[in-house]
Amino acid sequence: MKCQEIRDEIILYHADELDERARQAVETHCAGCPACLAFSREIAAAVAAAHRVRPAGPRVDVWLEVRERIGKKPAFFPRWAPVSLAAVLVAGVLFTKTFVSFPGNVNRSDRPVVSELEFLADYELWEDLDTLESL
Amino acid sequence: MPEETMAVNHFAPDSSNQDEKGELLLLREARSGDSESFGALVRRYQDELYRLALGLVSSPHDAEDLVADAFVKAWRHLAGFKNESSFRTWLFRILINASRSHLRRRYLRRKLFFRDSAENNDGDDVLVQFADPSAENDPEKRSERASLRAAVTAAKRALSAREREAFTLKYEQDMKIREIAGLLSLSPNTVKVLLFRATKKMAAALK
């Protein structure tokens, strides 16, 4: 087996994931290959370090905190409430803008356009102005 | 291979009948609202969960908070646990998801507030109690372990989140690749690749 191929096997060797035959193959290769033996030693050191610094457990009894927290009634204001409130507000604004019109707030489409005010064409505006001035 | 695999559960009462009850019975009682039965389950798994959390997030304070959060979440969703996996695996999944969210939040906080890229657990390594009792009784050995722990923590920063999960589950929880694959919903080959990368990076950093 080539050195590049054996490197992954070396990692599995130290991870205790190889059967006996594969373990023998790794050991045989490393016995005759200084580079792979050095690699194996580096991997072994890293694995040993991870084992040696393994912690015992938490410094406090987690159950005491958990018991206190699960003993409390769920908050009156559920976590999904802000999202629901925001959704209702957005829906309300959209509904108002779409369907509700307020007095004095006439929609653009409802305003009369000049072409619809044809009676103005017949209106003797200038003459009336003269009349108004004479008053 | 593992030198010290057995850790002491400091808070498990030795003569409690609760701990001798079968897990299924405890689960059934907990589901029906018996918080003391749930407490027995918490004490049974808190050390293992803490070790996993510490391996993933590095800070002892954050690890303790995450473990407590995971148990509270488990209690609230106990009705949804259908025995499709073991209770331990279910707890591990809850904790891993909580750790991922925690790491995302921590990453965003660091980016938003331009904090130092070093994790905020400087000096926290002295707070960790080691599984090996001899390291706890000998101050010199304890100091050496704390330094080694700081080096391991620093080396883990070079790993991606997935690589860190694979490395921690393999070497700190002694899980088999097949188990890790099931827990992380990955193929065994993907876990192997993560493990290869993580172990090589760790070895290079700890040289």
Nearest to B199 among A11, A56, A62 (CB): A11
Residue B50: which of A39, A45, A55 has the nearest Cβ?
A55
Q: What pTM was computed for the model?
A: 0.71
pLDDT-derived band of residue A122, with 50, 70 and 90 as boundaries? low
Any B CB within 8 A of A12 CB: yes
Nearest-angstrom CA–CA distance, B159 and B148 = 17
Averaged pLDDT, B190-196: 97
Cα distances from B132 to residues B4, B57, B126, B145, in angstroms, run: 6, 21, 15, 10
How many contacts does A have with B, using Cβ atoms within 8 A? 145
- First-last CA distance in chain B: 18
Chain A residues touching residue B171 (CB < 8 angstroms): 15, 47, 50-51
Cross-chain residue pair A59–B127, CB shorter than 8 Å: yes
A25 to chain B, minimum CA–CA distance in Å?
A: 18
Q: How high is the pLDDT of residue B6?
A: 40
Q: How far is A35 from chain B (nearest CA, A)?
A: 14
Q: What is the pLDDT of residue B50?
A: 95
| Burial B85-120, CB ≥16 within 10 A → b, else e | eebeebbbbbbbebbeebbeebeeeeeeeeeeeebe
Q: Residue B185 has what pLDDT?
A: 93
Classify A105 as helix, strand or coil.
coil
pLDDT, tens only, B37-52:
999 999 999 999 999 9
More confident position, B114 or A127 = B114
Identify how many contiguous H helices and E strands chain B contains and give both numbers. 10, 0
ipTM of the complex: 0.77
Token pair recorded at residue B37: 């039965």
Query: In this predicted structure, which of A90-94, A110-114, A126-130, B9-13 has the lowest mean pLDDT?
Result: B9-13
Q: Give dist(CA B44, CA B40) in Å, integer.
A: 6
Nearest to B70 by CA among B90, B85, B84, B86: B90
Q: Mutation target for B interface from A8, A60, A61, A66: give the one with most B CBs within 10 A.
A: A66
Q: What pLDDT does B101 receive? A: 93
CB-nearest partner of A49 from B130, B135, B152: B152
Does A54 touch chain B if contact means CB atoms closer than 8 Å?
A: yes
Q: Which residue has the tokens 């072994």?
A: A44
- Which of B118 and B23 is assigned the larger pLDDT? B23
Question: What integer pLDDT is reported at residue B125 of this predicted model?
Answer: 58
Rounded to an integer, what distance in angstroms lies between the CA atom of residue B177 and that of residue B179?
5
Query: Which residues between 84 and 123 in chain B have a beta carbon less than 8 angstroms from any beta carbon of chain A?
Result: none
CA–CA distance, B41 with A42 (Å, rounded to integer) = 39
- pLDDT digits over B131-166, tens only? 677 766 778 888 888 889 899 999 999 999 999 999
Determine, for residues B8 and A45 on separate chains, whether the beta-carbon distance falls below 8 Å.
no
Residue length, chain B? 207
Q: Report the pLDDT value the prediction gives residue A25, as an integer from 0 to 100.
A: 94
Residue B5 pLDDT class (50, 70, 90 cuts): very low
Which pLDDT belongs to residue B1? 40
Could you report the per-residue pLDDT of A46-104, keeping only the tens digit for each? 999 999 888 888 888 999 999 999 886 555 556 677 788 889 999 988 888 787 766 65
Higher pLDDT, A115 or B75: B75
- The chain-wide mean pLDDT, for chain B, equals 84
How far does Cα B135 stand from its chain's mean position? 20
